[in-house]
Amino acid sequence: MTAALKNTSYDEDALVAAVTSVLPGSRPLPLHEPEFIGREKEYLADCIDTGWVSSVGSYVDRFETLVAEKSGTRFGVACVSGTAALHIALVAAGVSRDDEVLVQALTFVASANAVYHAGALPHFVDSEYATLGLDPDALDAYLGEIAELRDGAAWNRLTGRRISAVVPMHVFGHPVRMERLAEVAERWHIIVVEDAAESLGSSRNGRPMGSFGKLAAVSFNGNKTITTGGGGAVVTDDEALAKHLKHLTTTAKLPHRWAFDHDEVAYNYRLPNLNAALGCAQFEMLDRFLAEKRALAEAYERALTGIPGVEFFREPDGCRGNYWLNAVLVPDRAARDSLLERLNGEGIHARPCWTPMHELPFNRDCPRGPLGVTEALVDRIVNLPSSAKLGRRV
């Protein structure tokens, strides 16, 4: 992908016509909506009929197994939300109060919020054009300027705080260059915690996203590829970590037939069996949804090819993205805002990328590196309707 589109012959009319040609005629058309065409009602009825509707039950166990398998890890721990999953992953990884955690500025606010919940401070770093996600090369150069190794840990020489973790987020399901990031993190003794909220079903060089970091957080919010209504999970290969995560997310209650004893400060982040049942049925449809979303992405790309000043964002080389959200890039902010106004005016729910984290008022005093790529990308990105069912008609 190029840094900017300089073509002055940008054709908004052609772009709108191309997008409309891919989509059905019904309006309004949501950005991304869930679909329940499998065994969801059956599994939910089973929870109600058996009385297992709360935070324990067979569907929770099955759901944890399924999310681990799809993420290429040995263990999964269900959580009440993706944000809760990322928070507890950071806690379990050893992030401590007043640490700094490296987070790309081009991400959803949950990535930064989870760092705050862990008592740490987000430290914002840049993305790259090829993936939209965290740029490992830029991070390596930046750490060389501001960090030092001391007592087996990375320390920010400018703030005096430990840099304990890095949180790469796979934007719209497109994988970050995780092998390169792992090299950088290992050299600086920084733990990698993947924010795989958007990337279930994506892979890099055949390896599923969620399997590269020490831990990873996955989201099953209502707008994700599959949903539990609201929910998340932490995945890991570390058995001891998985057991501790389960303990922390279930109030750290010690097993006993009747006594309520707890051995550490913990959280009630349990996913109800009802939500897990929904998720199990959705997992049975995941491969179909992924195929339909890929068909939709290919249809968008065909329709947009050759339109001046327009670029459809394709999965990075060596990757298989889930195309959670399809993204088109236009020349500048004015073109972006005009396109958003026009599409939404026609009942097509398009959206811009998130406000960059460093521009949110509560983040403005956080440490950050150069963010030129982030700011350029935000000016250009428009997300198009991406529901799986839209891929059935193309």
- Convert the pLDDT of each residue in 62-101 to its tens digit: 999 999 999 999 999 999 999 999 999 999 999 999 999 9
Q: Are residues 98 and 218 in the same domain?
A: yes
Q: Are residues 255 and 241 both part of a single domain? A: yes
**314 token code pair:** 């394709």
268/181 same-domain check = yes
Percent of the chain having pLDDT more than 90? 97
Domain shared by 210 and 312, yes or no: no
Q: What is the C-alpha separation between 139 and 13, in angstroms, rounded?
A: 39
Same domain, 227 and 86: yes
pLDDT of residue 2: 55
246-292 residue pLDDT tens: 999 999 999 999 999 999 999 999 999 999 999 999 999 999 999 99
Domains identified in the chain, total number: 2
Question: Is 24 inside a domain boundary?
Answer: yes
State the pLDDT at residue 195. Answer: 98
Residues in the chain: 394
Contact 153, 189 (CB under 8 A): yes
Better-scored residue on pLDDT, 8 or 196: 196
pTM: predicted TM-score of the whole model, two decimal places: 0.96
Query: What gap in Å lies between CA 198 and CA 213, rounded to an integer?
Result: 15
Name the token pair of 132. Answer: 């939209």
Last residue of a domain, one of 268, 283, 298: 283
* pLDDT band per the 50, 70, 90 thresholds, residue 297: very high
Within this chain, do residues 98 and 184 fall inside the same structural domain, yes or no?
yes
Cα 361 from Cα 294, distance rounded (Å): 37
> Residue 339: phi, psi to the nearest 5?
-65, -45
CA atoms of 308 and 233, how far apart (whole Å): 42
Verify that 62 and 84 share a domain, yes or no: yes
Asked if residue 4 has pLDDT above 60, the reply is no
User: In the prediction, which pLDDT does 287 show?
Assistant: 98
pLDDT over 80 (residue 1): no
Write the CB contacts of 387 (distance below 8 Å, at least 6 apart in sequence).
Answer: 30, 31, 32, 33, 35
Per DSSP (E only), the strands in the chain are 75-79, 100-104, 121-125, 147-150, 153-156, 162-167, 191-195, 203-204, 207-208, 215-219, 232-236, 311-312, 319-320, 326-329, 351-352, 381-384
Q: What pLDDT score does 393 carry?
A: 80
Question: What CATH number did the domain enclosing 20 receive?
Answer: 3.90.1150.10
Characterize the bridge pairing of strands 121-125 and 100-104: parallel
How far, in Å, CA of 273 to CA of 255, rounded?
Answer: 20
Model confidence pLDDT, tens digit, residues 194-246: 999 999 999 999 999 999 999 999 999 999 999 999 999 999 999 999 999 99
How far the first Cα of the chain sits from its last, in Å, is 25
Same domain, 192 and 274: yes
Mean pLDDT of 18-32: 97
Alpha-carbon gap, residue 114 to 364, rounded angstroms: 17
Query: What secondary structure letter does DSSP report for 35?
Result: -
Domain assignment of residue 5, yes or no: no
The answer to whether position 4 is within a domain reads: no
Confidence of residue 55 (pLDDT cuts 50, 70, 90): confident
303 and 195 within one domain: no
Residue 326: give the domain boundaries. Answer: 12-35+286-392
Q: Is residue 297 part of a domain?
A: yes
